[in-house]
Amino acid sequence: MTQRLAALAVLAVAASGLGACSSGGSGSTTGSSTVYTIWDPYPQFDPGSEWVKLLSRCGTDAGVTVTRTAFDTTDLTNKTLLAAQQDNAPDVLIVDNPVISTLAEAGVLATTEEVNVDTSGVEQNLLGAGQLNGKTYGMPIGANTLALYYNKAVLQLAGVDVSTVKDWPSLTSALAKVKAAGKKGITFSAIGTEEGSFQFLPWFWGAGATLTKLDSPEAVTALSLWADWLKQGFAPNSVINNTQTTSWAEFATGDYAFAENGTWQLANAKKTGFEYGIIAIPGSKGGTAPAPTGGEFVSIPVQKGTGRYVTSQKLVACLSSTDNSLTTTTTLSYIAPTKAVQAKQVAANAELKVWAEAVNAAKGRTGDNLGTKYPKISQPLWTALQAALSGSATPQAALTTAQTAAAAATN
């Protein structure tokens, strides 16, 4: 008897447990709740940080309560797709710029037209990453890009005047002098992920190559530059596995003359204990190479209850207003997307001038209407990097393979 009772009890518990599970998930986005959800890729900021304070302030101004959840960047795309599949997307989404076109293609994001977000003040080269088929799907919250950090002491020891580094030959000869002086040349990240492509693009574009033709002679020049640096010992072999963080750790040892890295390392640069400077990445024959834009877009995912857009729009406007944009970009160590705020940033911190210039020369990876084709091109490209740098193929052969793979994937 007791056994049977126990069995029934177990059954009842199991049934109620399952019932509770299935009813718990829904109901959070329906209705006119005054709780608005924001997802961002900044897990480094805790609830006490300026960034989260700004979010709650914007919520209060719009008369609603804001619930913010932070995700890891790579995780955020999948979480958003899953949430959209279950009609459970957040009200405001802050997401890495190359992902915008993927999410737009999936029909997850509302256009700025639909939700009345004003993007007129934004620089066109930054907005490009958020556009697909002539429609805009978000507003850049801030931008970052890549440049070359250099170690003043190492260059002095090697007898290199940094102002002579204007193009690739002068950069390579500077690296040769550094090596001759017993120091290490340059470190960057050529890992087999999107990070590797991101770091290679300034050189790729700086040679005049385009993403639609990966095996062009210009592209081969760019890849040969990197491969030769490795072969001659100007760059360490570890770049093949370096993320931008581990590459920075190499530069922070003080042995390296140059490091290709982004705006976000500025705070760390001050902690290294040696004097550093920053120059823009040179093009193959001089000038500033266009670097890819990094940084996030703030966008509004499609909701069933379109009435929510009005408040979501207020939140977006608040985050991107001139005053708040200055706070946001300073907190995130980013460059503002509008000329007006950029000028304020440079006035407050002259060091940012190089970065503001680099951002203005930069271009979006998914721009040129590549959109969702970009990831399919980027993967063969980073594979080619790995093949050429590890010596398993020549730059020409690696890029020919990459072009074949990219062409097959994008058709």
From residue 248 to residue 287, the character string flagging contacts with other proteins as x (rule: CB under 8 A) and all else as - is --x--x----------------------------------
What does the buried/exposed string (b/e) look like for 259-295 if buried means 16 or more CB atoms within 10 Å of the residue's CB?
Answer: bbbbbbbbebbeebeeebebbbbbbbeeebbbbbbbb
Q: Does 392 bind other proteins (CB under 8 A)?
A: yes
Q: Shortest approach of other proteins to residue 1 CB, angstroms?
A: 6
- Closer residue to other proteins, CB minimum distance, 8 or 348: 8
From residue 315 to residue 354, the character string flagging contacts with other proteins as x (rule: CB under 8 A) and all else as - is ----------------------------------------
Q: Shortest approach of other proteins to residue 2 CB, angstroms?
A: 8
- At which residue do the structure tokens 């930054």 appear? 126
- Closer residue to other proteins, CB minimum distance, 1 or 267: 1
- Closer residue to other proteins, CB minimum distance, 166 or 179: 179
**DSSP string of 12-64, one letter each residue:** HHHHHHHHHHHHHSSSSSSS--SEEEEEES-TT--TTSHHHHHHHHHHHHTTS
Q: Do residues 155 and 170 make contact, with C-beta atoms less than 8 angstroms apart? A: no
Q: Shortest approach of other proteins to residue 379 CB, angstroms?
A: 5
Binds other proteins (CB under 8 A): choice among 222, 352, 389, 406: 389
Strand order from edge to edge, sheet including 65-70: 65-70, 35-40, 92-96, 296-299, 139-140
Q: Does 77 bind other proteins (CB under 8 A)?
A: yes
Neighbouring residues of 98: CB distance < 8 A, sequence distance ≥ 6: 129, 194, 364, 365, 366, 374, 375
Q: Does 98 bind other proteins (CB under 8 A)?
A: yes
Q: Shortest approach of other proteins to residue 214 CB, angstroms?
A: 15
Q: Do residues 92 and 38 make contact, with C-beta atoms less than 8 angstroms apart? A: yes
Within residues 188-207, the interface with other proteins by CB under 8 A covers 191-194
- Phi, psi of 190, deg, nearest 5: -125, 35
- Closer residue to other proteins, CB minimum distance, 228 or 323: 228
Q: How buried is residue 13: exposed, middle or buried, by Cβ count under 10 Å (0-12/13-18/19+)?
A: exposed
Contact residues toward other proteins (CB under 8 A) are 1, 3-4, 7-8, 10-11, 14, 18, 74, 77-78, 81, 84-85, 98-99, 102-103, 105-108, 191-194, 236-238, 240-241, 250, 253, 372, 374-376, 378-379, 383, 386-387, 389-393
